[in-house]
Structures are given as C-alpha cells and as structure tokens.
Amino acid sequence: MPGSASRKVLGGSGISGDGAEKAWTECAQAQRQFQQELADFLASRRPVLRDLILVSRDLQLGLIERRSLEFRYLLAMHPERIVRNQGISKLANFAWSDEDAKVLRRSNPDYEAVAKSVELLQERTDGHRQWPALRVAHQALARNADYQKIYGRFQQRVEAAGKLLDGGRLR
C-alpha cells in the first residue's frame, strides 16, 4: 500500500515527515521575522532601551534555534511524539524532556552551543534593571497601529505554515 511505510515511520499521523518539516521551517521563520521586526520597532520607539531590546531579541532567536534542533531530533528519532494532525500549534508545542536534551547535547555539538548561548543571554536579561521600563513600553506600544501590522504579518505567516502542514496529509 503506497505511503504505508512513511505512516509507520512517522507514527501513523497521516502527515509526511517532509510536510511536517516544511511547516516547522516556515513557522520558525515566521517567529524569527516577528522577533526581528518587533525589536526594530521597539528600538526605534524606545532607543534608550535598545541594548535590552536587542539582547531580548537574540534570546528569542536562540530559543527558536534550540527548539528547531529539538524538533529535527524528534522528527528523526521519535517522530511519533510530534503531533502532525492537530494544527501548527500542536506541531510546534511538542513535549521535550531533560533526557531528550542530554541525548541531543551528546550527539549534536550545535545543540550544546545554542543551549549555552541561550543560557548566557538569559542571564543577561534576567533581572535587568531596564526590564520594568521595557515591559511598560511593550504594553503601551502594543496598541500602536505599526505594532498591530507587525503582529498581523506574523499571524499570517504562521497561518501559511499551518496550511503547509494541512497540505502534507497522505492520501
């Protein structure tokens, strides 16, 4: 039966690994673009907070990269743990354990490097003296029309990624 081998390999989800991979890639790219556009917007409106905004952006980009490495690991090693038939949000919010992280750290030096970078960036942002000001600025600027456009583009990109996932169903 055509496709039965890939259904078995991919946990019987009905979504090809390639479809899940494409959807993930597009969703991660949407997140990266959003973080970059958001940082540019916030820094242009609150230049005094620029350093913290850029470190926060870099942290978010690092978290996206780390999650991408985790996704690809699971897709290759434990594809049954990735939910492919309940939309892009379920695809992106897969379970991840400390044991998974240990295995991936041992097997992929890129993961170790990204994880260390994320830890360092987290240390730089945690308790930063300007966090309260950035939080207030973010809340105030979230009502701005330009912010809403940035967020709207992000939503459209994620929706497009979800359609790639929907289009990956095996017949």
The label of the residue with tokens 């583009």 reads: 153
What would the pLDDT profile of 21-52 be if each residue is shown by its tens digit?
A: 999 999 999 999 999 999 999 999 999 999 99
* Sign of the torsion formed by the C-alpha atoms of 5, 8, 11 and 13: positive
Neighbours of 37 (CB within 10 A): 18
pTM of the entire predicted model: 0.85
> What are residue 169's DSSP bridge partners?
15
Q: What residue segments make up the domains of the chain, in order of their start?
A: 4-167
Please state, in angstroms and rounded to a whole number, the distance separating the CA atoms of residues 136 and 86.
35
What would the pLDDT profile of 97-123 be if each residue is shown by its tens digit?
A: 999 999 999 999 999 999 999 999 999
